[in-house]
Amino acid sequence: MADIPATTEPAAEAFGGRRARGGGQSTVRYLATKLGGGAISLALVAVLGFFLFRAMPGNPVRSVIEGRGSASYEEIKRIKAEWKMDEPLWTQFVDYMGDLLRGDLGTSIKYRAPVAELIGERFWWTILLTGTALLLAVALGLLLGSRAAWRHGSRFDRWSTGTALVLWSVPTFWLGLIMLVVFSVGLDLFPTAGMTTPGGVSGGWFAELLDVLHHLALPAITMTAVIYAQYLMVMRSSLLEEMNADYLTTARAKGLRDNLVRRRHAVPNALLPTITIIFLHMGLVVSGAVTVEKVFSWQGLGLLTYEAIGVPDYPLLQGTLIVLAAAVIVMNLLADVIYRFVDPRVRSA
Amino acid sequence: MSQPLLEFRDVSVHYRARAADTTAEEIHAVRGVSLSLAAGEKLGLAGESGCGKSTLAMSVLRLLPKSARLEGEILLDGEDISTMSWGRLRAVRWAAGSVVFQGAMNALNPVHRIGDQIAEPIRLHGSLGSSPSTSAVDRRVAELLEQVELPVERARAYPHELSGGQKQRVMIAMALACEPKLIIADEPTTALDVVVQAQVLDLMTRLVEERGIGLVMISHDLAVLASTCERLAVMYQGELVEQGESAAVIARPEHAHTKALAAAFPTVGDPVYRYAPATSSPLGLPEAPSTSDDEPAEPLLRTEDLRVTFGGTHAVAGVDLSVAPGEIVALVGQSGSGKTTLARAVLGLQRPTSGSVYFEGERVPRSASGLKAYRRQVQLVLQDPTSALNPRHSVYEAVAEGLRIHKVPGDEREHVAAALEAAELRPADRYMSVLPHELSGGQRQRVVIAGALALEPRLLVADEPVASLDASVRGEILALLLRLRARLGLAALVITHDLGLAWNIADRVAVMFRGELVEVGAVDSVLRSPSHSYTQSLLDALPSASVLGR
C-alpha cells in the first residue's frame, strides 16, 4: 500500500497534471546537462590522448628518416624543429590545445597533409562499412534474439544463440581471412581488397554503386557476423525478463495470436533496455572497424589509425581519437534522447 | 435456467515441477473441482495464496503456463474449453469471457496508451463490425471510460500516469469492451486501500449487474467477497472445501479453513476480536492490557509539530504524535495520506522540514552518528519481507547484520539465537543457515522481526507488517507483536490502512488524512464512535458481510 504514490483519485489527477507541465522544462535542462557532460568528456579525451600517444614506444623522427636512407645530425634537428618536437612537452601541449580550440587538428607526419582533410576523406567510408554492418547486426540480432527468447529452451534458441556466440568468440581477422579465402580466392565471388575496382568501372553512377557494394559485401558480412551476437543476447535476456509480465497474460486473454502478443506487447517493452546498449555499441563499433579494414584494405578511419600507430603519427592519432571519442559520446547522447522519446515513463518523470 | 454459464466438471490442474533437482514431480494445483455459475450470477472464490484459486480461474480461458496440464471439462456457455481448437479459443477469449486482472500492478502494458489497450480487443473481435472506423472505435472507448467514471481525455494517458484505482477502472472498462457474458476478476482490489477498494467494488458490481454479466471474483479476503457476491466457494490446497450462500458461509463456516479465513479479517467494533488476532499458536494471547486512562509521565517517543514538505506538497503537515512505553499505536490512513513519510521522519530516514522528534524526552539528533544510537532503540519492520531480506544472506547473516553495525558486545551467535527465539523461530539453530527463499512468507516476516529484536529496541516501527501475508499468517504475526509487548515491554508504532489490524492489536489509533492527524484516541472509542468525518468514511468503506445480510 505504502508504495503506491497516489492519494484519492482527484488528488492524483492534479499531481499528474503538474508533472506533465514540468516535463518540457526538465527536458531542456536534461539535454543541457547531457551536452555539457559530453563536451567535458571530449576535452578530457583530447588531453589524455596527447600524453598517451607520447608515452607510446616508437619515434616518429626515426620513421621519417628510415624512409630516406640516412640522415645527418642537422637534418634530424631540422625535422624535429619542423614538428616542434624540440620544444618542451608542455609548450607542445599548449600549442596543440590552442590549435584544437581553433578547429585545427594539425598536420600528419606520415602523409604531410592536414589531419582534418585526411579524416574527412576516410570518415564516410568507415560510416558506410560500420553503418551497414551495424544495421544488419542490429536487425539480425533483435529478430533472432526475440524469437529465441520467445521459444526459449527450444532447438531454435539453442542453435541461434550457440552460433552467435561462436561467431562472437572468433577473432575478427581470422574470420575475415577465412571469408577471403573461401569467397574471393576460392569461389571468386568477391574482390579481395579495396573499396572500388582500380581504374574505375564504366556504365555510370549505378555501375559505380554496384561496384562499391560488391566490395562492401565481404567486410560488412564479416563485421556483422562478429558483432550481432551482442544484440541477440541483450534482446534475448531483455525479453526473457518480460516473459512473465502480467500484461502479456492480459494480451493473451484478449485473444491475440501468439505472434501479436510478442510483436505488439512484449518486444516494445523488451526493446527499451536494448536501446541504450545498441547505441553505446554503435559508438564503439566505429573504432572497432580497425581489424576488418586492415584485412580487407578498406580505406577507412580504422586503417588510417592503424597506419598512424606504426609511425607513430601524433597529430593524426590525436585527430582520429577525438573523432572516435566524439562518435561514442554522440551515440550515448542519442541513446538518452531516444530513450526519453520511446519510454513514456521516463518522458514524464 | 437451462444451462449454467460456466461449469467446471471434475477439473484438475497439474504443474510439472521445473526444478532440475526434483524428479519429474508434479504439483497438483487443482484437485477435482466441480462448480457452476448461472448467467448473471456472482460467485466469490476464496482461499490463500497457493490454494489453486487463480489457477482454476485462469483455466477458464486456458491461460495457464505451458507446464500446466488440465483434466476434466470446463464448459463456457455449453462449449468445452479444454478441447477447443486454438483458433476457436482465441475467438472465445475476451469476447465470451474477459478478465479483470490486478490493474494496479503490471497488468497494463506500460508503453501503450490506455485508450489503445481498451480498443485492442474491440478491433480484434470485431465487436463493431469487421473493420470499424477509427472514430467509431474512439467513440466506443470514450463510452467505456465514461461507464467506469474516468474522464474521456484519460484515453491518451499511459498506465504510470494513473493511480491504482484508476488503473483498476481501466481494467474494468477493458473487460467490458466486447460485452462478454462472463468476467473473471482476479484479486481486483488487493493493492488498493479501503476507500478506493469500496469505490471500485461498487462500480464493478453495478456494471456487472446492469448488464447481466456473470462474475467470478477471486480474493483472499472473505469480507470483500461476501459484500459483493451471492455465493462463496472456498478452496484449500487445490480442493473446493466449502461453498454456499455468502451470508451462510460467513456466519456458519463449516470447514476449519473457512473459519480461519473468516476470523482473519475481524469485524471492527466486535469485542470478540479486540486484542485477539486469529492465532492457532499454542503460546496463546496475552491478557488484554488494563485500560487505565492516566497518561504515563513521559512518552517513549514524541513528535512535535513535525513537517515534511516535498516541493509544494505537504506530506506531513504538523504532526504531534506520541507513543508511550509498551504501547501499541496504529497510524491509519489511505495511501498518500503521508503516514509512511511520517514513519520515515520518525526513524530519521527522512529529514523533516521542521519540527522535532523526541525519544525518552531527548531531542533526536539529525547527524548520522547521533542517529545511530537512536536507531538501535527504534527498529523498522517493512511490509514485504521478501524484498526486505537479501536473498543471498542466510537467516543468521540477516539477523546478525544489525549486531555488527552497532558493534553489540557479547557472543554474536547467542544474540542471534535469542532474537530468533524471541521471534518464535524455534529451534533457532535450525533456521540459522537457511536462505530466505526456503522460508514461507510468515517465517520471513519473523526473520525481519528477529533482525529488529536482536538489537533489543524499545520501539518497533512496522510499516504494513502483514499486508503482504496470507490471512492465516496475518493473525500469527499480530499475536507475536502482542506477546512481544507483554514479555519485553516493546512499544510499537504500526502503520496500516487496515482498520481491522488496529482493532486487533492497538491501544490507541491515530487517523491521518492529507498529512495531518485528524483524530487520535483509544481504539475502542475512535473506531466505535468516530468524531471526524474522515474516520467515519474509512469505517464506512470497510466491506462487511453483515451489510449483505441486512
Q: Higher model confidence: residue A225 or residue B467?
A: A225
Measure the CA–CA gap between A319 and A49, rounded to whole angstroms: 9
| Grid cell at residue B83 | 478441447
B125 lies within 8 A of chain A by CB: yes
Å from A341 to nearest chain B CA? 11
Measure the CA–CA gap between B190 and B101, rounded to whole angstroms: 10
Counting the structural domains of chain B, the total is 2
What lies within 8 Å, CB to CB, of B396 at 6+ separation is B416, B432, B433
Measure the CA–CA gap between B240 and B228, rounded to whole angstroms: 20
Measure the CA–CA gap between B213 and B182, rounded to whole angstroms: 5
Measure the CA–CA gap between A97 and A105, rounded to whole angstroms: 9
- Smallest CA–CA distance from A250 into chain B, residue: B107
**For range B522-536, the mean pLDDT:** 88
- Residue A19: its pLDDT value, please? 40
In a domain, B153, yes or no: yes
Domain that holds residue B502: 301-549
Measure the CA–CA gap between B101 and B55, rounded to whole angstroms: 13
Q: Outline where B14-113 has alpha helix (H).
A: 53-59, 86-92
**For A193-251, how does the pLDDT look when each residue is reduced to its tens digit (9 = 90+)?**
777 777 777 777 888 888 888 888 888 888 889 888 888 998 998 888 888 888 888 88
Question: Domain containing B419 — which CATH number?
Answer: 3.40.50.300
**For A127-182, how does the pLDDT look when each residue is reduced to its tens digit (9 = 90+)?**
888 888 888 998 999 999 998 988 888 889 899 999 999 988 888 888 888 888 88
Å from B503 to nearest chain A CA? 19
In a domain, B39, yes or no: no
Q: Domain residue spans in chain A?
A: 120-348
B394 lies within 8 A of chain A by CB: no
Q: Which of B104, B107, B383 sits opposite A247 (nearest CB)?
A: B107
**For B160-179, how does the pLDDT look when each residue is reduced to its tens digit (9 = 90+)?**
888 888 888 898 888 888 88
Looking at domain A120-348, its CATH architecture is Orthogonal Bundle (1.10)
For every residue of A299-332, DSSP letters joined together read -SHHHHHHHHHHTT-HHHHHHHHHHHHHHHHHHH
Å from B5 to nearest chain A CA? 18
- Smallest CA–CA distance from A16 into chain B, residue: B161
Choose from A250, A272, A339, A346 for mutation: most chain B CBs within 10 A: A250
Task: Tell me what ipTM this predicted complex has.
Answer: 0.76
**For B274-320, how does the pLDDT look when each residue is reduced to its tens digit (9 = 90+)?**
888 877 777 777 777 765 555 556 788 899 898 988 877 888 888 89
In a domain, B244, yes or no: no
The model's confidence at residue B331, banded by pLDDT at 50, 70 and 90, is very high
Chain centroid, CA A156 distance in Å: 29
Beta carbons of A6 and B110 less than 8 Å apart: no
A258: nearest Cα among B324, B87, B182: B87
In a domain, B65, yes or no: no
Å from B307 to nearest chain A CA? 18
- Residue A230: its pLDDT value, please? 86
Question: What pairing do the DSSP bridges indicate for beta strands B42-46 and B491-496?
Answer: unpaired
- Residue A24: its pLDDT value, please? 52
- Residue B329: its pLDDT value, please? 93
Other C-beta atoms closer than 10 Å to the C-beta of A52 total 13
Choose from A13, A249, A254 for mutation: most chain B CBs within 10 A: A254
Å from A317 to nearest chain B CA? 44
Measure the CA–CA gap between B231 and B209, rounded to whole angstroms: 15
Q: Which of B99, B124, B335 sits opposite A4 (nearest CB)?
A: B335
The Cα-based distances of B285 to B165, B260, B275, B470, B476 in angstroms read: 37, 16, 8, 20, 10
The model's confidence at residue A324, banded by pLDDT at 50, 70 and 90, is confident
**For A10-33, how does the pLDDT look when each residue is reduced to its tens digit (9 = 90+)?**
333 333 333 444 445 577 887 888
Interface contacts (A, B; CB < 8 Å): 127
Measure the CA–CA gap between B75 and A209, rounded to whole angstroms: 65
- The one-letter amino acid at B27: I
Beta carbons of A7 and B336 less than 8 Å apart: yes
Helix (H, G, I), strand (E, B) or coil at A335: helix
- Residue B335: its pLDDT value, please? 77
**For A266-294, how does the pLDDT look when each residue is reduced to its tens digit (9 = 90+)?**
888 888 888 878 887 777 666 667 888 88
SS (H, E, C) A199-214: CCCCCHHHHHHHHHHH
- The one-letter amino acid at B226: A
Residues B164 and B309 in one domain: no
The model's confidence at residue A85, banded by pLDDT at 50, 70 and 90, is confident
In a domain, B451, yes or no: yes
A118: nearest Cα among A304, A290, A287: A304
Choose from B118, B120, B190 for mutation: most chain A CBs within 10 A: B120
